[in-house]
Amino acid sequence: MKVLVTGGMGYIGSHTCIALHQAGYTPVIYDNLSNASVKVIDQLAQITGHHFDYIVADIGDKDALSAAINDHHIQAVFHFAALKAVGESTEQPIRYYQNNVAKTLTMIEVMSELNVKKLIFSSSATVYGDPQYLPIDEQHPISSTNPYGWSKVMVEQALNDLAASDGEWLTIALRYFNPVGADKSGLIGESPKGIPNNLMPFIAQTAVGRREHVSVFGDDYDTPDGTGVRDYIHISDLADGHVAAFSHHFNHEQAGTGSYAYNLGTGEGYSVLEMIKAFSVASGVDIPYQLAPRRSGDIACNYADASLAKQGFGWQAKRDINAMTADTWRWQTNYPNGLDE
Ligand code: NAD
Ligand code: UFG
């Protein structure tokens, strides 16, 4: 079965292509390269022994998308393509709504016209806004605090309405907590452009000597050590979650129709200081850090109730914090400046 993977050269999409391939699916990658390197294709070939077909095009390009779906006899779309920088989204909201919402709707129109009505969507724990209770389950009220987050909320709403209006559709929104780590081969991983916004790539770049120290944003939160707590999930577990969710619904649940949302997290939280410590152990580098003021918009604590995914399709995260840090370190030392530099 051939599936289109939009954003498939990016961080999460590329790892999901490995999991799809291992599960017997044939991913066809569709990416405009706005935040990825085409070298990912060669890396994936080294890892899997398979050279994936790919198309360099934009999801808003109806002709290119129609051709990709038709030429490859695509049966489902795994939709990762999006812009994802929260801070940037507050400065350029319309660009975010255009890319993440408007173009997704265009893509869905094309899929409808071609009768491809199975969609797996990259959502985020950001749709829960500031948590009202922990752990966060899927019933938690939906809201957001920034345009990026609202773009995810809007697409989720559109998917619910779509599935309600047309009983042939299957839509699955997967709400990721904090994806970290890299494929254990060390051949692909996360390489943010410029200064990393997220903790794990910042720690990794500090360990490898690209940054002087990690700034710990706030040590006066209501958490055990005062620093922010998050539910970090290994990227390969996240990738497996996509395959498990899709396979389950496509093959069993209500003949593969309906609209669903699942958390993908571990259910366990780690603080900023615990992450720095774990990374020091994995890398053997004493990672310098400095306490800094809170980052605006941050929440104290966030972790998932991941039981719905376990009950629903038997998925749960298997890789621990040691694998997350060791695999990140392998990738970071192999490619300290990413694939392109
Ligand atoms: P990424 O930037 O590495 O990958 C996104 C890919 O989409 C890139 O390769 C980019 O070139 C491509 N792309 C963007 N706009 C496109 C367009 N209009 N047409 C075609 N290709 C386009 O990001 P990622 O971390 O792999 O994230 C994948 C998805 O997961 C995104 O939807 C993101 O919002 C979501 N998500 C990510 C995180 C995270 O922490 N990384 C957390 C929650 C949700
Ligand atoms: N942090 C630091 N120093 C840094 C970077 C981060 O101390 O240099 C801290 C943050 O304050 C927070 C924790 O590390 O306590 C994690 O921060 P990240 O930026 O790695 O992750 P967030 O939880 O803030 O953001 C993630 C995703 C967003 C998503 C958000 C809400 O990256 O896309 O979760 O779900 F919107």
Ligand 1 nearest atom to the CA of residue 35, by list position:
11
pLDDT value at residue 90: 95
Tens digit of each residue's pLDDT (9 = 90 or more) over 265-287: 999 999 999 999 999 999 999 99
Please give the full DSSP string across 18-63, using - where no structure is assigned.
HHHHHTT-EEEEEE--TT--TTHHHHHHHHHS----EEE--TT-HH
| Pocket test residue of 9, 34, 144 for ligand 1, highest count of atoms within 8 A of CB | 34
Q: How far is CA 208 from the centre of its chain?
A: 24
Find the length of the chain.
341
Compute the distance between CA of residue 151 and CA of residue 187 in angstroms, rounded to an integer: 31
Binned at pLDDT 50, 70 and 90, residue 118 comes out as: very high
Tens digit of each residue's pLDDT (9 = 90 or more) over 195-247: 999 999 999 999 999 999 999 999 999 999 999 999 999 999 999 999 999 99
Q: Above 90 in pLDDT, residue 249? A: yes
- Domains with residue ranges and CATH for the chain: 2-180+233-264 (3.40.50.720)
Tens digit of each residue's pLDDT (9 = 90 or more) over 151-203: 999 999 999 999 999 999 999 999 999 999 999 999 999 988 889 999 999 99
Residue nearest to atom 14 of ligand 2 (CA): 199
CA of 223 to the centre of ligand 1 (A): 30
pLDDT value at residue 253: 66
Compute the distance between CA of residue 163 and CA of residue 276 in angstroms, rounded to an integer: 43
pLDDT value at residue 186: 98
Residue nearest to atom 30 of ligand 1 (CA): 122
CA of 112 to the centre of ligand 1 (A): 23
Helices (H), the chain: 11-22, 40-48, 62-71, 86-91, 93-96, 103-113, 147-165, 199-207, 235-251, 272-283, 307-313, 321-334
Pair 292, 215: CB distance under 8 Å: yes
Q: Which residues line ligand 2 (CB under 6 A)?
A: 84, 86, 124-126, 149, 178, 197-199, 202, 214-217, 228, 230, 272, 295, 298
Compute the distance between CA of residue 28 and CA of residue 10 in angstroms, rounded to an integer: 13
Mean of per-residue pLDDT scores for the chain: 96
In the three-class reduction of DSSP (H, G, I as helix; E, B as strand; rest coil), residue 105 is classed as helix
Ligand at minimal distance from the CA of 86 is: 2
Statement: the pTM of the whole predicted model exceeds 0.95: yes
